[in-house]
Chain A
Amino acid sequence: DTGVSQDPRHKITKRGQNVTFRCDPISEHNRLYWYRQTLGQGPEFLTYFQNEAQLEKSRLLSDRFSAERPKGSFSTLEIQRTEQGDSAMYLCASSLALGRELFFGEGSRLTVL
Chain B
Amino acid sequence: AQTVTQSQPEMSVQEAETVTLSCTYDTSESDYYLFWYKQPPSRQMILVIRQEAYKQQNATENRFSVNFQKAAKSFSLKISDSQLGDAAMYFCAYRRNSGYALNFGKGTSLLVTP
The answer to whether A and B belong to the same complex is no
Chain A residues close to B by CB (< 8 Å) = none
Chain B residues close to A by CB (< 8 Å) = none
